[in-house]
Amino acid sequence: MHTKLTFLEDLPLYDEEKPFRFVGFPNLPSEWQSNCTYVDKKVVVSDARGREKEFVLDDYGFKFIKHKSSCDLNMSEFDITGKNEQNLAAYLEESLRLAQKELGVERVICFDWRIRKNLDKPVVIPADESENFRHYTIPPAANIHCEDLTEVDKVLPEKVEYTLFSKYRNYHKWYMLSDQQPDEAIFFVTWDSRNFDECSNVPPHGACLEIGKGSSSPRESIEVRLLVMSPVL
């Protein structure tokens, strides 16, 4: 599939000045909101359909799994303005159990969750957050090097977070799962203490539309962020 993704531009500026974004400051002049500059690039995304078992966390940084949820997955059940607390709690608990089973660990903590909805605008490809279009795209972790990622400050009114944004590299390979269904989930790594000083275990992820096609089937998904703890070997 041919698509277009938006990356952080590889500028000398960022060798001297850290990239930043202000979020939640509506009165701040637009020119002060961010020093990030982006560039659109055409990329080829390969379909993992039929090859799902090839992708394992230790080698690729992500994996596809089949799981039919026992919870109501209607997006209205998770809407932040009127979510069904009981259904949400059940879904998060189900996600914890699923991670324990799939990853073979005993302790898993959910520290964040959010819904993703289709938006018809360019997609910036950070390593740990993105807007969702029709297809979810992920490159194998083995294709990612530390110099491919740039740490960007996300300045909120109450705190400062950081996100790793990807720069374009022609050797990156991208994958998606065509016609992904509600019972098809993706696990992917955003940080691994076993490789604390390495970036290769953090595959960037994003979402896209196929060039020449509209979003006739807009993507909606639920993202659950988990802290997985296992014994030190």
**Segment 159-200, tens digit of pLDDT:** 999 888 999 999 888 888 888 888 999 998 887 777 655 555
Alpha carbon distance 1, 118 (integer Å):
19
Cβ neighbours, 10 Å, residue 74: 11
Q: Residue 143's pLDDT is what? A: 67
- Could you tell me where the DSSP H helices lie in the chain? 57-60, 85-103
- Could you tell me where the DSSP H helices lie in 67-181? 85-103
Q: What is the pTM of this model?
A: 0.79
Residues with Cβ within 8 Å of 31's Cβ and at least 6 positions away in sequence, in order, are none
pLDDT of 71-87, one tens digit each? 887 767 676 555 668 88
Q: Tokens representing 198?
A: 């390495």
